[in-house]
A and B are shown apart, each in its own frame.
Chain A
Amino acid sequence: AQSVTQLDSQVPVFEEAPVELRCNYSSSVSVYLFWYVQYPNQGLQLLLKYLSGSTLVKGINGFEAEFNKSQTSFHLRKPSVHISDTAEYFCAVSVPTSGTYKYIFGTGTRLKVLA
């Protein structure tokens, strides 16, 4: 069965430091990969997505992610975080099922940026 694992439930980091949020997926077929961000009391907003092509994907707010097929990973990175990046981040895959596709989300990583 397909699944998404976000290894860290919480990541504290100081402002202007780099951060990496880890995501691994399990799937026997090709998938499409997404990172979403959720601010308090809000819905989810797309940061970036990998569909095909270059394995390094750039998104909004200075985030980027690298698709690694051999390691089945799609880690999210930012070279310098800001206080405003404090939020919960979700990795997701779109997988085929019952003749269509559905999204499977990880359990989320809560990023806390410290002053």
Chain B
Amino acid sequence: KAGVTQTPRYLIKTRGQQVTLSCSPISGHRSVSWYQQTPGQGLQFLFEYFSETQRNKGNFPGRFSGRQFSNSRSEMNVSTLELGDSALYLCASSLGPPNTEAFFGQGTRLTVV
């Protein structure tokens, strides 16, 4: 079956702009989580959606938002981009924690200049 698909793979944006990242989960998976990965910080949890509802949220400013559609596809939006938002953004889908494997996409590499 198809894996988790993230688009685009690479993105360059200017400070102050906004960006939308997309994630298509594995068919049948209703849980989608987003993570920010930066060198030295590891994976920082952004939020998790399950059946179109946000179930968990990490400690990120309100500039980071997301949503999930009825087909489980998810989008993440970052407004008023800052240089520090440059990172690899990873999406993971699963049947739903606690004991199920999270399947990760290849990520979107966002560079803010």
Contact = CB atoms under 8 A, between A and B. Distances in A.
A103 B90 contact: no
Given A90-B43, A94-B99, A43 B55 contact: no
A51 interface: yes
Interface stretch (A11-19, A66-74, A77-85, A104-112): A104-112
B5 to A, nearest CB: 11
A55 B57 CA distance: 31
A90 B37 CA distance: 12
Main secondary structure on A side of the interface with B? strand
Contacts of B107: 42-43
B69 to A, nearest CB: 20
A94 B98 CA distance: 6
A97 interface: yes
A94 B97 contact: yes
A107 B56 contact: no
Contact of A103 (B4, B41, B50, B102): B102
B33 interface: yes
A44 B91 CA distance: 10
A9 B56 CA distance: 28
A45 B98 contact: no
A76 to B, nearest CB: 16
Contacts of A51: 99
Interface string A44-59: 1110010100000000
Contacts of A9: 40
A51 B101 CA distance: 11
B33 A43 contact: no
Interface string B70-113: 00000000000000000000101000111101111111000000
A25 B66 CA distance: 29
Contact of B42 (A32, A100, A105): A105
16 contacts: A32-B97, A42-B107, A43-B90, A43-B104, A43-B105, A44-B43, A45-B104, A46-B103, A90-B42, A94-B98, A94-B99, A96-B98, A98-B56, A100-B56, A102-B48, A107-B42
Interface of A: 9, 32, 34, 36, 41-46, 49, 51, 90, 94-108
